[in-house]
Amino acid sequence: MKRNVQHFYGCLAGGAIGDALGAPVEFMSYEKILEIHGEAGIGGLLAPNDCKYARITDDTQMTLFTAEGIIRSITRANKLGVEKTVTDTISAIFRAYLRWLYTQGLKTPHWTPSAYDGWLIKLKALHAYRDPGVTCITTLGKGIMGTLKKPINDSKGCGGIMRVAPIGLAESEENVFRVAVQSAAITHGHPTGYLAAGMFASIIHYIIEGAELLEAVNRSLERAKQEESCEECVQSVERAVMLVEEGSPCYEKLKTLGQGFTAEETLAIAVYAALSYPKDLKKALLLAVNHDGDSDSTGAVTGNILGAYLGAHNIEEELLNGIELSREIEQLSSDLFMQYEENETWLCKYPAW
């Protein structure tokens, strides 16, 4: 059993580390990465010249707001004395994403200034434009929530999967897959886009409940196979597992899984990297980001998985303290684990509406 603060923090911090590690080489070709960073590729966190810490991207920003949405849904249920439902959780996560949208300089139609509340939105460091995904910005900008019955588009980009790790930490086995799927469908309407998110959150959930990495992946595969239109996701992850079984992890094998721009590719690359180095977060992350494509997202998802497995106490201090907002991520992880406290300080941090 890994259901404790250290593994919650490991999950969110690991994702942020992978995100920040991959950000400087996002969209670069592998050849360009080697040209700039040497024959081994990028080898560690890089901070911009004007910054003390390596920068996170929209991947981590949205992950933090997912966690906030979950906490606020729990807070609202406790405040009203009712049982939290999946619908309540998705609504709260959607509103959290609209607050994230505000940090990117966009306002939500029909919202008043008082709607942008809570502690997370007040963090100045989150009000930074880090080249967010076009799909997330444009869909949320409409102020309309995509659903499984009424998809908002046909996108299967990785913007739906890269943000749902907190759902795997907080939700029950009964609900984790559904909540993650519906959360991703808010902005990404293709089945592959949201089913991959369900698989990813399920992997996190099984790890936190005590499963070994491969067992968690296999249980997630079995859950996905109960869904229609799961073929792309299942085939991609099964291909990743097969490559791990061959041994000798390398870029040449990883690149056969894709570039990480779509949800199933991101998940497959993350599974491959995490299973290749299950006891070494840094090695797994370096494998996950040194490739052609969406390096910050593949790094983030890998970091979420392995961080949940290893726990923050097994992550190097240099990595934990080398990213911006590290203390705030630790605090949010603790609050997500706590879920709810009945006091005014908590209600100011997580208003219940």
| pLDDT tens readout for residues 156-188 | 999 999 999 999 999 999 999 999 999 999 999
Residues 6+ apart with CB under 8 A from 103: 61, 121, 126, 127, 128
Cα gap 295→259, rounded to integer Å = 8
pLDDT digits (tens, 9 = 90+) for 119-139: 999 999 999 999 899 999 999
Residues 6+ apart with CB under 8 A from 71: 335, 336, 339, 340, 350
pLDDT value at position 36?
96
pLDDT digits (tens, 9 = 90+) for 200-251: 999 999 999 999 999 999 999 999 999 999 999 999 999 999 999 999 999 9
Q: Is the pTM of this model over 0.75?
A: yes
Which sign, positive or negative, has the C-alpha torsion 278, 159, 92, 177? negative
**CA dist list (Å): 188 to 54, 158, 208, 213:** 28, 9, 26, 27
pLDDT band at residue 258 under the 50/70/90 scheme? very high
Main-chain dihedrals φ then ψ at residue 250, nearest 5 degrees: -165, 165
Domain 5-41+51-349: CATH architecture, name and number where available: Orthogonal Bundle (1.10)
pLDDT band at residue 51 under the 50/70/90 scheme? confident
pLDDT value at position 49?
85
pLDDT digits (tens, 9 = 90+) for 273-323: 999 999 999 999 999 999 999 999 999 999 999 999 999 999 999 999 999
Is pLDDT above 90 for 191?
yes
pLDDT value at position 175?
98
pLDDT value at position 150?
97
Which sign, positive or negative, has the C-alpha torsion 245, 251, 253, 259? positive
pLDDT value at position 110?
86
Is pLDDT above 90 for 92?
yes
